Chains A and B, each alone.
Chain A
Amino acid sequence: MRIRRLVLLVSILVLCLVLLTLQTRGRASGAADLVARITTPVQKTLSAIHRGAFGLWSTYLDWKNVRAENRRLRDENQRLRVDALAVSETAEENQRLRRMLELKARLPLNTLTGEIIAREWGGWVRSLTVNRGRADDVKRLTAVISPDGLVGRVVDVRPGAAVVQVLTDPTSTVGAHAVRTRTPGVVEGEPRGTIRFKYMARDGSALQPGDLVVTSGLGGLFPRGIPVGRVRAIDDRGSALFSFATLEPAVNFAKIDEVLLVTGDRMEDVTAYFQTGG
């Protein structure tokens, strides 16, 4: 038994040494070639299986990771969008209120801040409802302004709210003049939601697009110098008594959220207190 084991070991050793010696003497080993011929195809097959299995596994892991990451990123994206909207909204509101307060502090008038709580935007009537009413001592025909210019006037006062007729209301008329040419006239609302400046042809021949039109203060309803709009186009009626200029309103009525109600009786010229940008 022991001899058989030793014979086996010695045979193996001799075989190995012969193989090694043959190779170092530059003779190709036929046995090695034979072994390689058998093992190589099997190796290739198993390698392909191994690669495939690992590839499949990595694909699964990637897919799983991507799915989880995708879900996480979606949630994060949603949250960030909401946050961004909130921040943006807050920043905008902050800016609006700041402008409003700055105007309130600047103006030599008694004013009351109001928040718009409703809008009537049909063609027949164009109005805003503010959260100031009889309890706040708001009176009918009170002028309503914003940092950009004139909004309109209060036409109806209720216990906790007031209805403001905006300039674009078809029944709205405001005494105004062009700042550069001092051309007097009337700003009227139109059913299509625009405003126009109606003036006497002989007084407004020099009127140009871009000219600023402000309240005239005549009639004692609105303080003088509140921006109403800028001339967009001039409709020269030739020999007619009146000409018309289409105005771009100073205030974007659709986007306005807060206003100032002019509550006192002081009616000073406030042209210098509005930033008209030239």
Chain B
Amino acid sequence: MLALTIFGGGVAHATLAPALRIGDVAPDIPLIVVILLALRRGPEFGAIAGFAAGLLQDVAGGGLVGAQALTKAVLGFTLGVIGGRLRVTQPLVQVTGLVVLSIVEGILRFGILKIFHFPAPFGELMAYVVLPQALYNGFLGAALVLALAWADAQRHPAA
């Protein structure tokens, strides 16, 4: 189940994300998947999911293999640790949380890539890549959460 979800997320990112592109901004579907899994399943699950999804993205994207694997694994782990203490049910909180986490992931990735001489300036990267994508992730992720909640409610009406 984990492998399928992560693999599907990675492949969906490579195939579906371009179709969901708004202007020049595409959502980071694996990141959303990792966040949702980490919140539900805990740090181990989050770390492994983040690592696998990031690795797939690295390979599929043709960049430095390991950068996204690292950032997503850290993010998955951290969220898994603190997820149990948070009650994230409000859509507004979910959108904000996803936006913030996307930004954090972007900054983290920038930091790692900078170690390996990544040339793009931070300001531009934030303005044109990280922030727009974070916003998109926020709304798409919240929509996904709501859809999952609705599906759950349909499956277990009594609950």
A positions within 8 Å CB-CB of B = 4-5, 8-9, 12-13, 15-20, 23-24, 29, 31-32, 35-36, 39, 42-43, 46-47, 50, 54
| CA distance in complex: A20, B73 (Å) | 15
B positions within 8 Å CB-CB of A = 7, 10-12, 14-16, 19, 43-44, 47-48, 51, 55-56, 58-60, 64-67, 69-70, 73-74, 77, 81, 112, 116
Interface centre among A12, A19, A31, by most B CB within 10 Å?
A12
Residues of A near B60 (CB, < 8 A) are 39, 43
Of B16, B48, B81, B112, the contact of A50 (CB 8 Å cutoff): B16
CB atoms of B16 and A9 under 8 A apart: no
Of B55, B66, B69, the contact of A23 (CB 8 Å cutoff): B66
Given contacts A32-B58, A39-B60, A50-B16, contact A17 B66 (CB under 8 A): yes
Interface centre among A9, A19, A23, A43, by most B CB within 10 Å?
A9
Given contacts A13-B74, A23-B64, A23-B65, contact A50 B19 (CB under 8 A): yes
**Interchain nearest-CB distance for A51 vs B (Å):** 9
Query: Please, which residue of chain A has its CB at the minimum distance from the CB of B113?
Result: A20
Residues of B near A31 (CB, < 8 A) are 65
Interface centre among A5, A20, A31, by most B CB within 10 Å?
A20
**Interchain nearest-CB distance for A253 vs B (Å):** 71
CB atoms of A20 and B64 under 8 A apart: yes
CB atoms of A12 and B47 under 8 A apart: yes
CB atoms of B73 and A13 under 8 A apart: yes
- Number of cross-chain contacts by CB at 8 Å: 83
Residues of A near B74 (CB, < 8 A) are 9, 13
CB atoms of A43 and B11 under 8 A apart: yes
Given contacts A9-B74, A9-B77, contact A32 B48 (CB under 8 A): no
Given contacts A50-B15, A54-B19, contact A8 B59 (CB under 8 A): no
**Extra inter-chain contacts (4) besides given A12-B47, A20-B64, CB under 8 Å:** A9-B73, A13-B70, A19-B65, A47-B14
CB atoms of B11 and A8 under 8 A apart: no
| CA distance in complex: A111, B10 (Å) | 94
CB atoms of B73 and A39 under 8 A apart: no
Interface centre among A16, A18, A43, by most B CB within 10 Å?
A16
CB atoms of B116 and A24 under 8 A apart: yes
**Interchain nearest-CB distance for B75 vs A (Å):** 11
Given contacts A16-B73, A20-B64, A39-B59, contact A5 B15 (CB under 8 A): no
17 contacts between A and B (CB under 8 A): A5-B77, A13-B73, A15-B69, A16-B51, A16-B66, A19-B66, A20-B65, A20-B67, A23-B64, A24-B64, A35-B56, A35-B59, A35-B65, A39-B7, A39-B59, A46-B12, A50-B19
